[in-house]
Chains A and B, each alone.
Chain A
Amino acid sequence: MLDIQNLSARIDDFEILKGVTLSIKPGEVHAVMGPNGSGKSTLAAVLAGREDYEVTSGTVRYLGRDLLEMEPDERAREGLFLAFQYPVELPGVSMSNFLKEAVNSVREHQGKEPLSAVELLKMMREKAALVDLNPDLKKRSVNEGFSGGEKKRNEIFQLAMLEPRLAILDETDSGLDIDALKIVAHGVNQLRGPERSFLVITHYQRLLNYIVPDVVHVLVDGRIAKTGDKDLALRLEEEGYDWLREETIAAPVG
């Protein structure tokens, strides 16, 4: 599904990713954890195609293609989805118009007929229920006036609408209370499947109690310092990240 090899990237003169290697198979859920400033969100941004970041070395293959050659919108149409850490407000763009445009862009790309207004509304009702979003949101402007929790649920709602192959969740848990976190995690779990992979970026282990990952990576100073199973997340919760920093620093010497 996704194969990242030795990926380095910088913004302005700051080298943030310093050789990340990571591989995700269809149906797998990978978590990327790490302290603040370790490069987690940069990884998400580079994968989604944010132009502020410059890739300095490495490769990313997605479904056998060179992901870095693709425009952000082409990535989306090819089934890559980013749930934003800070979802953007679009005053004047209604949710229903936004979703119609997005869903039909993807469908057209797949050679499918566009959804009719009725079909779209039906789908919106179904998918909104997954994350307990008020179904009358269709007339509201995208994210405008949404609470923090609603914005995050709206990201998962869009994920459900767009049915991507690979979903990247960028700190979707930040700013959520435990009830909202459970709703979001429940939504994500409903969307797991053998053909859909997830890259879950989080600062806290807490989310991983509810979205149980197959693989956990720890990103420290722009490199994957350790890879393990879900128990690695628990150890990080107890011991923090310091022991990994020491290992990372020690590693090149040893």
Chain B
Amino acid sequence: MTAVKTIDIGTDRPEARFAAAFERNRPHILNGRGQPLAEKRNRALDRFLELGFPGPRDEHWKYTNISKRLERPFEIAIAPAVPELRPQDISRFLIEGLEGSVVVLVNGVMVPGLSSIATDGPVIVPIMDAIGNPVFDRHFGRYADADDAVFTALNTAFARHGLFVHVNRGVKAGTLHILNVTTGVRDTFLQARHLFVVDPGASLTVVETHAGVDAEGMFLNAVVEATIGSDARFDYYRVQDDPGTSAVTGTYVYQEGASYASCGTVTLSGGTIRNNVAVLPDAQHCESHLTGLFIGSGEMHIDNHTLVDHAQPDCFSNELYKGVLDDSATGVFNGRVLVRRDAQRTNAYQSNKSIVLSDKASMNAKPELEIYADDVKCSHGATTGRLDAEGLFYLRSRGLTTDRARTIMLQAFVRDVLDAIAVEPLREVLERAVENRLAK
């Protein structure tokens, strides 16, 4: 077994606390299960210590001061406390009319008593129980990387909670709702890790929601990996509505030939939120859709970084992110589209629009298109502005109060992002949630 290298990072830096926690829990984390995973974990911790948390001078974190968030003396929860919840405690976080499986994770830990797994759905296993499964071992840690390597490395080193979901060839696995509830905890650092393997010709929809009850000062470092076989379809939605949690999330989707993948990210509440979504269509005729909706108020900070890496010809990608920022909220959108030299006949589109409602709120939008192929159709557009004064006056001239007119205009503004949600019960729940959030 490789020993953890001694890297002097100073004891006062947050990285040191993680290293110490890793040492303390080494037997627990590695747990004697399978040498390959233990090596992956050790390598990941080394990588984490080498990289260190990003500072404000780090280009990828320029607008998101994550180090400041991490200065808090978090309890690094290898085995978080799981308060007992009754079904009625979580019923309001369920999605009415959504059919399929529900897995409830309380403070990151799966609670079978609250979960219900459809017999004809996908195979769902907590990741620690999946170790040794050849499919899990083959794919775990293979896709999550990219620019936010430090958080991925930290997650790979520590994560014990989360799901391995496997859909066998040709199976239409329906919808899986992963409900994350943080409750009864504060100042705790949680890590979650999912791996979705969708075999050729199969399909899976995952709706992952985050909610919080009586939880404060939380930090979540979540990593999702998905590998989508040829002619398969994968739809993934993440809905963040956990006011006591700051988060860094990474969603990494690998696509094989003629597969379809969509990633929708909706942020309604939270502290400092950074979402990384990276899609790699690695064969011909793939289709990829990235959508995002963020509504910031108070002191919220919402940063969406996306990457669509077109490595192969004849693929299509479309990206639509919209945000509304009020009070002192800040937003960031960084959308990178890479069209590599061989990716001829790529169609890649990106649009990012934000409305800033107050003088203190702000938005930083940065599209990054890098095109190395010559026969492509690519476009991007980014706008940030105020609500249209003419539209507001028109509505008021028909009897609507200023507040109502504003709500109607904002709802109209976000409509196309909500319309892009293919899961109807989720769309309906979000329409109501968004209306409530936008109403003054």
Contacts and interface: CB of A to CB of B under 8 A. Distances in A.
Interface stretch (A61-69, A80-88, A118-126, A193-201): A80-88
Nearest to B414: A92
B402 A73 contact: yes
Contacts of A106: 399
Contacts of A158: 398
Contacts of B411: 92-93
B354 to A, nearest CB: 15
A71 B395 CA distance: 13
B8 interface: no
Given A88-B390, A88-B391, A97-B408, A105 B399 contact: yes
B404 A105 contact: yes
Given A92-B411, A92-B416, A102 B394 contact: no
A105 B416 CA distance: 26
A93 B393 contact: no
A73 B399 contact: yes
A52 to B, nearest CB: 9
A90 B391 contact: yes
A50 B393 contact: yes
A87 B408 contact: no
Contact of B412 (A76, A88, A93): A93
B398 to A, nearest CB: 4
B409 A90 contact: yes
Nearest to A83: B397
B398 A92 contact: no
Contacts of B398: 76, 98, 101-102, 105, 158, 162
B81 to A, nearest CB: 45
Q: Which of B399, B400, B401, B409 has the most CB of A within 10 A?
A: B399
Contacts of B393: 50-51, 72, 88
Interface residues of B, number: 22
A42 B39 CA distance: 76
Nearest to B416: A92
Interface in B376-395: 388, 390-391, 393-395
Nearest to A105: B399
Contacts of A130: none
Contacts of A71: 396, 402
A97 to B, nearest CB: 7
Interface string A93-116: 100011001100110010000000
A73 B397 contact: yes
A105 B398 CA distance: 8
A145 B402 CA distance: 25
A48 interface: yes
A92 B413 contact: yes
A158 B399 CA distance: 12
A90 B395 CA distance: 9
Contacts of B405: 73
Interface in A209-238: none
Contacts of B413: 92
B400 A73 contact: yes
A77 interface: yes
Q: Which of A51, A84, A88 has the most CB of B within 10 A?
A: A88
A101 B411 CA distance: 13
B391 A76 contact: no
Given A88-B391, A90-B391, A92-B411, A72 B416 contact: no
B397 A72 contact: yes
B60 interface: no
Nearest to B401: A73
Contacts of B390: 88
A93 B401 contact: no
Contact of A88 (B394, B400, B408): B394
Given A50-B393, A87-B394, A97-B408, A92 B415 contact: yes
Chain A to chain B: the 4 pairs with minimum beta-carbon distance, closest first: A92-B412, A105-B399, A102-B398, A88-B394
Interface of A: 48-51, 71-73, 75-77, 81-82, 84, 87-93, 97-98, 101-102, 105-106, 109, 141, 158, 162
5 contacts: A75-B397, A82-B397, A90-B391, A92-B413, A101-B395
Given A90-B412, A92-B413, A98-B408, 13 more contacts: A50-B393, A72-B396, A73-B396, A73-B405, A76-B397, A82-B397, A89-B391, A90-B391, A93-B408, A93-B412, A98-B395, A102-B400, A162-B399
